[in-house]
């Protein structure tokens, strides 16, 4: 399940694995054995993400005849950041003091830049991170509000772990012992003056919204390249008129709520989103619950940022 959530096919190899030459022959028994070994390593690392998993520990649990496959799987997972990543302490102590792999300049101290920096440092590279702003974190930024001693923390950027299955952010939370709070599945809607929306109408309009999107996907297959230049908004409105759905004021308001939510999720107006590409990141969606970090005071939030930034084992500063 972990391997699937990470995007590994059940019975095939990723292009990257093929390029890395993890097996001598594709499609046979050796490939199957490699996949079983890889899944074993992934499961073992995920069962305790607080400590470094060594190749030796894995080899102890597997028969000698599979040693070369285990070695290939371990190296692939390690160098591609599937295991032994994050803020686990042995990683920092394993970082070589004298680097010998060369130097890398990373532009941007957001999550991606900081994670890449940490990973490269653990491989022995000298890393310099250049950041244009006067703070790290990029699009993740927690604003402290209030007086001294009475703070509230407000996230102005990324805050929800959107699907906990195999999500590397979930691994970071576990390594920092930060509990997670599941976001409720149900989302009751209210009319403009506060009365709750009738559940029947609510679920009916949600169904209509989803069906309209299904139709968009069918239609764009037929349209081919033409769909690139036609906005998602215009196709949805045309389909709504064609099927004569969401006609009453209340129904229309509810459908508009879903459309506004779609714009929020895509960070753009429906009139600016292309019919072809509006859902291009769907294959990378993580499964499982959506969660917030439970922060007891603002200290922990800064810990997450500073743990990514520093490779030191010293405690995070107060602010």
Ligand X SMILES: Cc1cc2nc3c(=O)[nH]c(=O)nc-3n(C[C@H](O)[C@H](O)[C@H](O)COP(=O)(O)OP(=O)(O)OC[C@H]3O[C@@H](n4cnc5c(N)ncnc54)[C@H](O)[C@@H]3O)c2cc1C
Q: Does 105 bind ligand X (CB under 6 A)?
A: no
Contact 207, 215 (CB under 8 A): no
Q: Does 158 bind ligand X (CB under 6 A)?
A: yes
The smaller minimum CB distance to ligand X, of residues 113 and 170, is found at 113
**Sheet strands (E) in the chain:** 103-107, 126-130, 142-147, 150-155, 161-162, 180-182, 290-293
Q: Does 139 bind ligand X (CB under 6 A)?
A: yes
**By CB under 6 A, which span of 42-50, 88-96, 152-160, 235-243 interacts with ligand X?**
152-160
CB of residue 183 to ligand X, shortest distance in Å = 10
Burial class (CB in 10 A: 0-12, 13-18, 19+), 288: middle
How many Å apart are CA 197 and CA 271, to the nearest integer? 27
Residues in region 31-90 near ligand X by CB under 6 A? none
Q: Which residue among 7, 9, 96, 157 contacts ligand X (CB under 6 A)?
A: 157
Q: Which residue among 92, 159, 253, 266 contacts ligand X (CB under 6 A)?
A: 159
The smaller minimum CB distance to ligand X, of residues 162 and 231, is found at 162
Residues contacting ligand X: total by CB under 6 A: 19
Task: Look at strands 103-107 and 126-130 and give their pairing.
Answer: parallel
**By CB under 6 A, which span of 130-138, 170-178, 189-197, 214-222 interacts with ligand X?**
130-138
Q: Does 113 bind ligand X (CB under 6 A)?
A: yes
Q: What is the DSSP letter of 126?
A: E
Q: Does 132 bind ligand X (CB under 6 A)?
A: yes
Q: Does 266 bind ligand X (CB under 6 A)?
A: no
Q: Which residue among 58, 72, 140, 216 contacts ligand X (CB under 6 A)?
A: 140
Site string (161-200) toward ligand X, x via CB under 6 A: -x--------------------------------------
**By CB under 6 A, which span of 45-53, 98-106, 128-136, 212-220 interacts with ligand X?**
128-136
Q: In the structure encoding, which two tokens stand for residue 143, read together?
A: 């604003």
Q: What is the DSSP letter of 273?
A: S
Residue 181's φ and ψ, nearest 5 degrees, are -115, 120
3-state secondary structure of 161: strand
Q: State the sign of the Cα–Cα–Cα–Cα dihedral 29, 35, 36, 37.
A: positive
How many Å apart are CA 210 and CA 273, to the nearest integer? 17
CB of residue 286 to ligand X, shortest distance in Å = 9
Residue 19's φ and ψ, nearest 5 degrees, are -60, -35
Burial class (CB in 10 A: 0-12, 13-18, 19+), 34: buried
Q: Does 147 bind ligand X (CB under 6 A)?
A: no
Q: Which residue among 4, 105, 112, 128 contacts ligand X (CB under 6 A)?
A: 112
Q: Does 274 bind ligand X (CB under 6 A)?
A: no
Q: In the structure encoding, which two tokens stand for residue 110, read together?
A: 């957001």
Q: In the structure encoding, which two tokens stand for residue 277, read together?
A: 């590409």
CB of residue 131 to ligand X, shortest distance in Å = 5
The smaller minimum CB distance to ligand X, of residues 37 and 110, is found at 110
Q: Does 131 bind ligand X (CB under 6 A)?
A: yes
Query: Could you tell me which of 314, 304, 36 has the C-alpha nearest to residue 170?
Result: 304
How many Å apart are CA 286 and CA 183, to the nearest integer? 15
CB of residue 279 to ligand X, shortest distance in Å = 16
Interface contacts to ligand X, rule CB under 6 A: 107-113, 130-133, 138-140, 157-160, 162
């Amino acid at each position: 399940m972990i391997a699937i959530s990470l995007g590994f096919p059940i019975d095939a190899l990723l292009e990257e694995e093929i390029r890395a030459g993890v097996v001598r022959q594709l499609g046979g028994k050796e490939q199957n054995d490699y996949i079983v070994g890889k899944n074993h390593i992934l499961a073992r690392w995920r069962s305790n993400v607080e400590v470094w998993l060594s190749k030796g520990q894995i080899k102890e649990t597997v028969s000698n005849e599979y040693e070369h496959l285990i070695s290939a799987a371990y190296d692939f997972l390690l160098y591609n950041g599937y295991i032994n990543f994050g803020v686990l302490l042995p990683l920092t102590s394993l970082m070589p003091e004298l680097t010998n792999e060369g130097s890398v300049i990373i532009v941007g101290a957001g999550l991606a830049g900081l994670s890449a920096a940490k990973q490269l440092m653990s491989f022995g590279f000298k890393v310099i991170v250049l950041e244009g702003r006067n703070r790290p974190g990029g699009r993740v930024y927690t604003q402290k509000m209030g007086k001294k001693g009475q703070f509230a923390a407000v996230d102005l950027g990324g805050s929800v772990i959107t699907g906990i299955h195999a999500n590397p952010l979930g691994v970071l939370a576990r390594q920092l012992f930060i509990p997670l709070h599941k976001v409720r599945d149900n989302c009751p809607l209210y009319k403009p003056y506060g009365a709750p929306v009738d559940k029947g109408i609510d679920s009916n309009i949600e169904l209509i919204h989803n069906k309209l999107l299904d139709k968009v996907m069918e239609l764009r297959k037929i349209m081919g390249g033409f769909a690139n230049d036609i906005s998602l908004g215009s196709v949805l409105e045309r389909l709504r008129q064609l099927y004569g759905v969401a006609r009453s004021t209340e129904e229309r308001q509810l459908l508009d709520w879903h459309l506004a939510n779609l714009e929020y999720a895509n960070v753009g107006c429906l009139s600016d989103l292309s019919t072809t590409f509006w859902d291009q990141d769907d294959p990378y969606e993580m499964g499982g619950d959506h969660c917030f970090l439970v922060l007891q005071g603002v200290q922990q939030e800064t810990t997450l940022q500073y743990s990514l930034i520093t490779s030191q084992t010293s405690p995070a500063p107060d602010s």
